[in-house]
């Protein structure tokens, strides 16, 4: 399935619907037994895209990822502003819920890795409650040192998941996956940020009306005052995208 991409600040972001994103995951899993190619999926919001302009490794990882979905109203706006129709936002949290819902039917095996002590376990329990029959083959918290990586990789590989969900925060989760993806023998790995925290009830998600009004970023700032500085990435992102469009037009 061919998916068009928007070039946002030098990162290729897929212009697709949630349904298409799910189909791509299915495709990745179905082809894995033949090609043994592990697939990396990134969920890109404005903050991640801005960070990639100053983090060369993150920039490289995102452009080598098998799929970068538009997680955030800012990303969707940027794609449209730059001339590529972005059908909708594909939020990482919602993508995970859709995959968990489909997992029992497809017999997919899921591994939860990341977040604070006990959070991945609570998130897995929530998944089992909300999606009867889902097969969670392992959980592991996000507290570890470099010396633990070999054991973590072995644990994940032994569990044989079809989908590995990694919640270590940006860009740690993307860099960890980029480094160890070839060793994991897992069809699909996704960096999911705060998804486990929301599932476990540690963090609230914005009310639906704020999500629809594209104000989820504001809700996060209200709930986590420490994020206030990070929210400055949003206006910077708007200016950066406008400059990017002007530069692209001059080069043409």
User: What does the pLDDT read at residue 100?
Assistant: 98
DSSP conformational letter for 142: S
Tell me: pLDDT of 72 over 90: no
Least Cα distance to 196 among 106, 136, 120 occurs for 120
Residues 6+ apart with CB under 8 A from 1: 20, 23, 24, 27
SS3 173: helix
pLDDT at 207 over 70: no
Examine the pLDDT at 192 and tell me if it is beyond 80. yes
**What pLDDT score was predicted for residue 250?**
74
Q: What percent of the chain shows pLDDT beyond 90?
A: 81
The yes-or-no verdict on residue 40 having pLDDT over 70 is yes
Q: Give residue 97's Cα distance to chain centre.
A: 12
93-118 pLDDT, tens digit each: 999 999 999 999 999 999 999 999 99
Mean pLDDT computed over every residue of the chain: 91
* Tokens standing for residue 2: 């061919």
Closest Cα to residue 135, out of 98, 116, 97, 161?
Answer: 161
Give how far Cα 38 sits from Cα of 132, 165, 180, 184, 228, Å: 27, 13, 10, 8, 36
């Amino acid at each position: 399935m061919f998916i068009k991409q928007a070039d946002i600040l030098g990162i290729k972001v897929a212009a697709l619907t949630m349904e298409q994103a799910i189909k791509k995951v299915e495709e990745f899993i179905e082809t894995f037994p033949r090609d043994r190619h592990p697939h990396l999926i990134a969920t890109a919001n404005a903050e991640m895209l801005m960070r990639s302009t100053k983090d060369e490794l993150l920039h490289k990882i995102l452009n080598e990822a098998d799929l970068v979905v538009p997680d955030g109203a800012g990303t969707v706006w940027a794609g449209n502003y730059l001339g590529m129709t972005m059908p909708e936002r594909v939020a990482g949290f919602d993508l995970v819920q859709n995959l968990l819902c489909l997992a029992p039917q497809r017999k997919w095996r899921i591994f939860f890795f990341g977040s604070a002590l006990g959070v991945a376990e609570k998130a897995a329990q929530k998944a089992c409650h909300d999606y009867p029959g889902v097969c969670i083959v392992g959980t592991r918290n996000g507290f570890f040192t470099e010396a633990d990586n070999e054991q973590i990789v072995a644990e994940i590989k032994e569990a044989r998941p079809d989908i590995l969900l990694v919640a270590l925060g940006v860009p740690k989760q993307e860099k960890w996956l980029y480094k160890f993806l070839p060793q994991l023998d897992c069809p699909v790995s996704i960096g999911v940020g705060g998804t486990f925290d929301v599932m476990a009830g540690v963090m609230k998600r914005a009310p639906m009306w704020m999500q629809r009004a594209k104000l989820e970023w504001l809700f996060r700032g209200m709930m986590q005052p420490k994020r206030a500085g990070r929210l400055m990435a949003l206006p910077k992102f708007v200016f950066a995208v406008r400059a990017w469009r002007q530069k692209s037009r001059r080069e043409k």
